Amino acid sequence: MKNCSIAVSILSANFANLGKDIEELVHSGLVDSIHFDIMDNHYVQNLTFGPVICKSLIQYGIRSKFDIHLMIDPSERLINEFIEIGVNQILLHVEYSKNIEKELRKIRNNGCKVGLVFNPRTSLETLDRLINEIDSVLIMSVYPGFSGQLFIESSIERLLEARSIIDKSGKDVLLEVDGGINFKNVDKIVQTGVDVIVVGSSVFDQSIGSIEALNIFHKKIDFCKKF
C-alpha cells in the first residue's frame, strides 16, 4: 500500500494560540502540510480568513507546506496574493470557478502546485478531463463550510473512483480526502489508496492533545500499510 501523509486543517484550531500550536505540530514531524480553508460566506455559509493569516504564520517562523483551499468569488485577486506569499498548493472547487482551466494554468505557470476539489454530489467527469492540468485532487467527504461534520459514507466509493481515474491516466496526481475523518474510520479511508488525509477537529478537539492524536492516526495508517 502507498504511503499516506497527514495535512492538518486549522479550521478547528484555537486562534488565540495559532502560531504556537502550528509550530508544535510542524516540529513533531507528524504533519506533512497545513491546510487553510478560505471561505467568503458566499459559496459556503462561513467566513474564515485570508492571506494575512498565512503570511503571519510564515513571519512567525512556520516552515511547512501550505495548502490553500479556496471557496471564494471572485478568486483571481486572492490567487495572486497567495502566490506572492509563496504557498505550496492552491486547491480550486470545480463548482465555484467560472474559468477553471485558466485559473489552473495561471497557478501552475507561477510555480505553485494546483488541485481540483469536488463536493460530495459533484460528478468526477471534470477530473477525467483536466487530469493533465493538476497535481492533486481533493474529495470532500462532508459538505464544505464547517468543521466537526460526520463522514459521508458514499465518499468511499468516490475515492475509489477517483483513484481509478488517476491510475488509468498514469499521471503523478495525489488523491486527498477532507471531512469527518477520525480514529474509527481512518482505516477504511486509507485502504482506498488515498495519498493525503486532511484532519482538523479530530486533532484539535481531543482531550489527549493534538500530538498524541496525530500519533494515533499514524499508527493506524502504518497498520493499514501492512495489508
- What would the grid cell of residue 190 be? 486509507
**Cα distance between residue 192 and residue 175, in whole Å:** 10
Active site residues: 37, 178
89 CB neighbour count, 10 Å cutoff: 23
Residue identified by cell 477504511 is 188
**Cα distance between residue 227 and residue 158, in whole Å:** 22
Which residues lie closer than 8 Å to 193 by C-beta, 6 or more apart?
A: 1, 2, 159, 160, 163, 175
